[in-house]
Amino acid sequence: MSKEVTVPTLGESVSEATIGEWLKKPGDAVKADEPIVSLETDKVAIEVPSPVAGVMGEHKVAVGDTVEVGALIAVIEDDVAPGESTNVEPRTEAAPAEATAAPTPAPSPAADTGAPAQAKSQGSDATQTLSPAVRRAVLEHGVDPSSIKGSGKDGRLTKEDVLAAATAKKETGDSPAPAASTAPPTAGGGERREERVKMTRMRQTIAKRLKSAQETAALLTTFNDVDMTAVMETREKFKDTFAKKHDIKLGFMSFFAKAACLALKDIPSVNAQIDGEEIVYFDYVDISVAVSAPNGLVVPVVRDAHAKSFAQIEKDIADFGKRAKDGTLTMDDMKGGTFTISNGGVFGGLMSTPIINPPQSAVLGLHRIEDRPVVRNGEIVIRPMMYIALSYDHRLIDGREAVTALKTIKEAIEDPMRMLIDL
């Protein structure tokens, strides 16, 4: 007897998805509610659980195929003994077969194909399936995926895990992975490899939306710089007490979120949207926070940021960051948003011109903090400075309004007391 696995409801207005990764292979033992496949939608990756315990049967579709809601994608064979159905470990039944088959792949063709990461994951650890982004990172940095502890869901490797392992290898001076070093040289004496990876549905959507924003909106960016001294002193003074009381660290994002709320209240058009021939003004602020995920940039929404405390904003952002890394963000987490904050400073960016997140009309870009000489009271002093940028849709927001909004954010950060007394 077998059980069919179909594509579940994906969310409002989402009717199809792409098969991103099969987490179980035919013949693998599966538990009830254990994830067996990852589906990529326009915004998030969704894991589909097994409806019953049993053995993974035939895959009806392949990685990269587009499937609609309700479509049959796999079959679970219900032939596991009752006593084993709730505690069987994945791949234990396939282990003997792999052991006897080991002599066949024993030579090292993996090194010849230039794909050590994939071969390693399929040989020494058959339960570890690498996503295209992770596999590409493994190849680029020459690390052994079987030696890295995954921090993703169910212990799976993420791109961040690979990058961290590569950094650690450089710091310790370890030699490159043998598989990578034994790849055959080209006629020129060096290694030249290429890999073609199909764009994920999420990356395709990001590309289309950003290009559409450039073609539709009249984009313009205004800049300013911010003296971070007051905020840094405030964080240093209250960080221990804040963490003890709220069980969360006091970061910079909550300051900029509250400063943005102050500016958007004074300049409503920066928090507005164009809908056809109408302008929609919001009396609330839902801030989309750009978060880096293994499959691309996602923008979950901190709702009612204007009414939330610093602590609650920090908790929301920390939760989004963790779930983005684990791949557990939902469609509802990304829905809506009236304004976006993107922090390129965490990657070392000094300055940028961020692109708005349609249908929003403005986005605030944050950058790295660095000590620079500035003039204060007629004297040159060193201060921790940050460039901030506001990109906006000039069809709706005039230059005066954009500059005023950015200046309000600057003043609130340089004097945090303004956020407390609403100035």
Peptide bond into 359 cis (omega under 30): yes
Predicted pLDDT at 128: 55
Predicted pLDDT at 366: 95
Give ranges for CATH 4.10.320.10 in the chain.
111-198
Q: Rounded to an integer, what is the distance from CA 130 to the centroid of its chain?
A: 17
Q: Residue 106: helix, strand or coil by DSSP?
A: coil
For the chain, what is the largest distance between any 2 Cα atoms, rounded to a whole number of angstroms? Answer: 84
Task: Please pick, among 65, 112, 394, 415, the residue that the annotation labels catalytic.
Answer: 394
Q: Which two tokens stand for residue 143?
A: 């690390």
Task: Please pick, among 125, 154, 398, 415, the residue that the annotation labels catalytic.
Answer: 398
- Domain 111-198: which CATH number of 4.10.320.10, 3.40.50.2000, 3.40.50.300, 2.40.37.20: 4.10.320.10
Please state, in angstroms and rounded to a whole number, the distance separating the CA atoms of residues 285 and 338: 6
Predicted pLDDT at 288: 93
Give ranges for CATH 3.30.559.10 in the chain.
202-421
Positive or negative CA dihedral for 196, 198, 199, 204? positive
> Could you tell me what percentage of the chain is helix, strand and coil, using 3-state DSSP and rounding each to the nearest 5?
40, 25, 40
> Which 8-state DSSP code applies to residue 142?
T
Residue range 1-101, CATH number: 2.40.50.100
| Nearest alpha carbon to residue 291 among 342, 336, 334, 232 | 342
Sorted by sequence, the CB contacts under 8 Å of residue 189 that are 6+ apart come out as none
Angle value at C-alpha 303, between 302 and 306, nearest 5 degrees: 95
Positive or negative CA dihedral for 313, 319, 325, 327? negative
CB 326 within 8 A of CB 361: no
Q: Where are the alpha helices (DSSP H) in 88-143?
A: 95-101, 109-113, 116-123, 132-141
Predicted pLDDT at 12: 62
Query: Which residue shows structure tokens 């919001």?
Result: 282
Please state, in angstroms and rounded to a whole number, the distance separating the CA atoms of residues 226 and 247: 28
CB 290 within 8 A of CB 343: yes
Predicted pLDDT at 122: 41
Predicted pLDDT at 328: 80
In 237-376 the beta strands, taken as DSSP E runs, fall at 273-275, 278-280, 287-289, 291-293, 296-298, 301-302, 339-343, 362-376
> Which 8-state DSSP code applies to residue 360?
B
| Nearest alpha carbon to residue 76 among 29, 126, 20 | 29
CB 352 within 8 A of CB 376: no
List the chain pLDDT tens, one digit each, 423 residues.
778 888 887 766 677 888 878 888 888 888 888 888 888 776 677 788 888 888 888 888 888 788 888 888 888 887 544 444 444 444 444 444 443 444 444 444 443 444 444 434 443 344 455 665 676 677 777 777 778 887 776 677 777 788 888 878 776 655 444 444 445 555 556 788 888 877 777 777 778 888 888 888 899 999 999 999 999 999 999 999 999 999 999 999 999 999 999 999 999 999 999 999 999 999 999 999 988 776 667 889 999 999 999 999 999 999 998 888 887 888 788 888 999 999 988 888 889 999 998 899 999 999 999 999 999 999 999 999 999 999 999 999 999 999 999 999 999 999 998 888 776
398 a catalytic residue: yes
Please state, in angstroms and rounded to a whole number, the distance separating the CA atoms of residues 333 and 41: 14
Give ranges for CATH 2.40.50.100 in the chain.
1-101
Query: Which residue shows structure tokens 């950060």?
Result: 413
pTM equals: 0.62
394 a catalytic residue: yes
Strands 54-59 and 72-77: antiparallel
CB 359 within 8 A of CB 340: no
In 306-410 the beta strands, taken as DSSP E runs, fall at 339-343, 362-376, 379-393
Q: Which two tokens stand for residue 227?
A: 């003296």
Please state, in angstroms and rounded to a whole number, the distance separating the CA atoms of residues 65 and 181: 35
Q: Which CATH architecture has domain 202-421?
A: 2-Layer Sandwich (3.30)
Predicted pLDDT at 393: 95
